[in-house]
Structure 1
Amino acid sequence: MQNKNKTVVKSMSLLHLFLHEPSLTLSELVSKSGMPKTSVHRMVSSLEEMGFLNRDAAGAYSLGLMFLEFGQLVADRLDIRKIAKPIMEDLCREVDEAVQLIMRDGNEAIYVEKIEGTQTVRLYTAIGRRSPLYAGACARSILSFLPREEIETYIKQTKLISIGSGTITDPEKLLQVIDASVQNGYTISYSELENYTAAIGAPIFNHKRQVAAGISIAGFEARFTADRLPYLTEKVKDAALQISRKIGYS
């Protein structure tokens, strides 16, 4: 404690009280903090002046808009790729398949990170490569968890072109697959971007509970057998949840 500014530490203690209460009066702050009333009054006055606290007409304090500004800056500056990479590496070691991270760019998805397994397999994906949102488990893990109206608009406006032998080109079937993905919490694809390959993808959510990215494991279709799918599915969903939590999802 001797190396810390005691006033700053005490001020932070006051602010932490608002994590559990939307508003607090001066008396409540004094009671909950156990600090002298004069000290609390001095600190909350300073915090109010700086925009960290607001005081309403009744005299109750609440967190100020300054926290929204800082919170948005933190969210905007989070590097999902940097956060996701160690989790992707762990996933790759566990399942020994390629692991991919994808983000949305308009009506396309762009692969921003990829970890190769020991299995040598030709994949459509590579860092910097783009794919339509409707094709492949990783890209569709983003499309499937967009707002329903946005999904339907996308499908109406997009020509579903075949890329691999398993690419879904029928709008009604695509919607059915999307519905199943939402219900199950993951997406799966076979030969949609590259023949004889398979992938399982899961959505990554941000602090606003919006889909921010997608992660998938991909490899030879023959390795994605019915008895192995539950294991692979749980692993990729768990990795997606880990990344989501690290970028603020709760």
Structure 2
Amino acid sequence: MQNKNKTVVKSMELLDLFRTNRKLSLNEMVHLSGIPKTSVHRMVGSLEAMGFLNKDAEGKYTLGMLFLEFGQLVAERLDMKQIAYPIMKELRDNIGEAVNLTLKENQEAIYVEKLDTTHPVRLFTKIGRRSPLYTGACSRIILAYLPEKEQEEYLNVTELIPYGIGTITDKDTLRSVLRQSRQDGYTVSYSELENHTSSVAAPIFDHTGRVVGGISVAGPDVRFQKEQLPTLIAQVKTAAATISQKLGHSSPLRT
């Protein structure tokens, strides 16, 4: 407790009770915290006056709207590139392949960060490059996790133009791939944006649970054969889940 204000610490202990309790009476807070009733009464009064707690007609307390405001500020000020970079570096160092980070911007995916492969043969992906949501693993994984209505609206107005020999240009096939990707928590592409290249991608979610981007490993298709895929998939999903957690997402995907 050295160098800590005891009242502030105990007030935080009271607020921490609301992590697992939606509503609490004064007596319940006393019982759960072990703090004397007079102290709880004094601190709760101050927390209520500052907007950290609200008191309902039954005399029970809930977290105040001020937390929603603070939470929104925290979410808005998170820098995904800064959060993702060390996780991307660890992924690249572990598997040796190029790692890309994409974000959804309007009806496209934009590459906002990349780390090159350690292999002499590599792909060239420029930061700032844009791609349609329907093609390439790191773009399509975003489309796979959009709300169903939004996804269908996109498909209805989008012409599926081929970029590579593997680009999916049939909408029913694409819908099937999107459903499977959402079920699996990842997607794999072969020659969709560029011929003879492959990519494995997983989705990134924000604090609201909405998909905001994707992370992928990419390289020549000769290095993405069937025997390599399980390791690549597991590590990409783990990286995506870690970034999502750091963005405030509480239910990362299974890895």
Q: Between Structure 1 and Structure 2, how many residues are aligned?
A: 250
Aligned partners of 1:190 and 1:199 also within 8 Å: yes
Aligned partners of 1:97 and 1:119 also within 8 Å: yes
- The Cα shift of 1:58 comes to 1.1
The farther-off stretch of 141-150 and 1-10 is 1-10
- The Cα shift of 1:34 comes to 1.7
- Matching residue's letter, 2:249: Y
CA distance in 1, matches of 2:228, 2:30: 58
User: Structure 1 vs Structure 2: percent identity of aligned residues?
Assistant: 59
The 5 A counterparts of 1:1-250 are: 1-121=1-121, 123=123, 125-250=125-250
Secondary structure of the residue that 2:134 maps to in structure 1?
coil
CA distance in 1, matches of 2:120, 2:110: 22
Deviation above 6 Å: which 4+ runs of structure 1?
none
Secondary structure of the residue that 1:45 maps to in structure 2?
helix
Aligned partners of 2:123 and 2:220 also within 8 Å: no
The farther-off stretch of 194-203 and 160-169 is 160-169
Secondary structure of the residue that 1:248 maps to in structure 2?
coil
Secondary structure of the residue that 2:131 maps to in structure 1?
strand
The farther-off stretch of 122-131 and 173-182 is 122-131
Offset from partner CA, 1:104-133 (integer Å, 9 cap, x none): 000001001101112244536321111111
CA distance in 2, matches of 1:123, 1:107: 24
Aligned partners of 1:14 and 1:33 also within 8 Å: yes
Secondary structure of the residue that 2:23 maps to in structure 1?
coil
CA distance in 2, matches of 1:227, 1:34: 56
* CA distance 1:93–1:122, shift in 2 (3 Å): closer
Secondary structure of the residue that 2:195 maps to in structure 1?
coil
Unmatched tracts of structure 2, length 5 or more: 251-255
Tell me the TM-score normalized by structure 2: 0.95
- Matching residue's letter, 1:83: I
- Matching residue's letter, 1:24: L
Secondary structure of the residue that 1:103 maps to in structure 2?
strand
Secondary structure of the residue that 1:165 maps to in structure 2?
coil
Secondary structure of the residue that 2:200 maps to in structure 1?
strand
Secondary structure of the residue that 2:193 maps to in structure 1?
coil
Secondary structure of the residue that 1:110 maps to in structure 2?
strand
Unmatched tracts of structure 1, length 5 or more: none
Aligned partners of 2:116 and 2:122 also within 8 Å: no
Q: CA RMSD in A?
A: 1.2
